[in-house]
Amino acid sequence: MNEVLSAGLSDEVTRRLREAILTGLLRDGERVVERDLASTLAVSRGPVRDALRRLADEGLVVSEPRRGTRIASLTLEDGEEIMAIRLAIEPLAVRYLVRDAESPRFESLHPILDAMRAACERHDWPEVMAQDFALHSQLYRLCGRRRLLRLWESISEPLLHIFRMNLGLYENIGQVYENHRKLVAELESGDPARAEDAIREHITHFQPQLRALMIDRERKLAQEGYARRTDGGRPEGGSRRFDTGGTSTTDAPAGVHNTPPHQTQEG
């Protein structure tokens, strides 16, 4: 990582660490050490400590007495709880939005769709996911209900973490754009019941596959944990150093095809 030079050190450190988690530079379950992070970021330990507290509030790290801090391993139970909360609040947000909104308010969704399509054409998975969540965040803002927005903000980072860990849900990258294009068209219909049905279908469409992927992930993590205990593995005393180079944004996850939006298979 480059040195953090901005005045808002805690904000910048939080942003950098969040990005490292959500892009996989810091791996699920990995131990992180305040001293090592401060050295990597070229800051004092105070901003790192503040950042880790904030990331713990977001559910992205876990701190335990005498055991230190590690990147959160989101379990199947976590995923089901987060998805249940989303399924409870997002149709409600859409109902308020479609019932109360004038059609010009939906125009703010189209630049996000355009950015999502462009990211799909570049095969840029991190940016596709960012635009996906930007669109859903905008729905909550447009509905005008601040409590619903706060509830969304409390689950959006862990939810993004879950989806980035399980990109095998998508047959191809263009599917993400096409699904959201159809969703926005349903919202613009002006029919609250139709819009609610569309958002429920959008949320639940991948739930069986997501559940299966999370079960498989938990099994693999359990096996890796057993291997580390028996074979040594990474020492407990420190965390891996990382930099902003990361992985190439043009590389799709295993099992995912980088098909442009116009070649999308229906999902």
Contact (CB, 8 A) for 37 and 243: no
Enumerate residues 6+ apart whose C-beta is below 8 A from 115.
127, 131, 134
pLDDT for res 150: 95
Give the number of C-alpha atoms closer than 13 A to the C-alpha of residue 47, restricted to the C-beta side. 22
**Whole-number pLDDT of residue 101:** 67
| 149-to-86, 87, 96, 154, 203 alpha-carbon distances in Å | 11, 14, 12, 9, 17
Q: pLDDT value at position 134?
A: 95
pLDDT of amino acid 200: 97
Q: What is the dihedral of CA 162, 163, 169, 172, to 10 degrees?
A: -160
User: Whole-angstrom Cα distance, residue 89 to residue 91?
Assistant: 6
Q: What is the pLDDT along the chain (267 residues), one digit of tens a residue?
A: 444 444 488 889 998 998 888 777 888 788 999 999 999 999 999 999 999 998 888 778 888 887 889 888 778 888 899 999 999 999 999 999 998 866 667 899 999 999 999 999 998 887 898 899 999 999 999 999 999 999 999 999 888 888 877 766 777 889 899 999 999 999 998 899 999 999 999 999 888 888 888 888 778 767 766 555 445 444 444 444 455 433 333 344 433 344 444 444 333
* pLDDT value at residue 20: 86
Of 102, 89, 85, 84, the C-alpha closest to 187 is 102
Residue 2's pLDDT is 45
Residues 6+ positions from 263 with CB-CB distance below 8 Å: 172, 174
Count CB neighbours of 224 within 10 A: 12
What are the C-alpha distances in Å from 202 to residues 51, 187, 195, 258, 267? Answer: 33, 12, 10, 21, 10
Task: Count the alpha carbons within 13 Å of 264 in the hemisphere toward its beta carbon.
Answer: 18
Look at residue 103 in the predicted model and tell me its pLDDT: 60
pLDDT for res 257: 40
Give CB contacts under 8 A, 24+ apart, made by 73-80: 73/28, 73/29, 73/221, 74/28, 74/158, 74/161, 74/162, 74/165, 74/214, 75/214, 75/218, 76/211, 76/214, 76/215, 76/218, 78/158, 78/162, 79/162, 79/210, 79/211, 79/214, 80/211
Report the alpha-carbon angle 10-240-256, nearest 5. 95
pLDDT at 253: 40
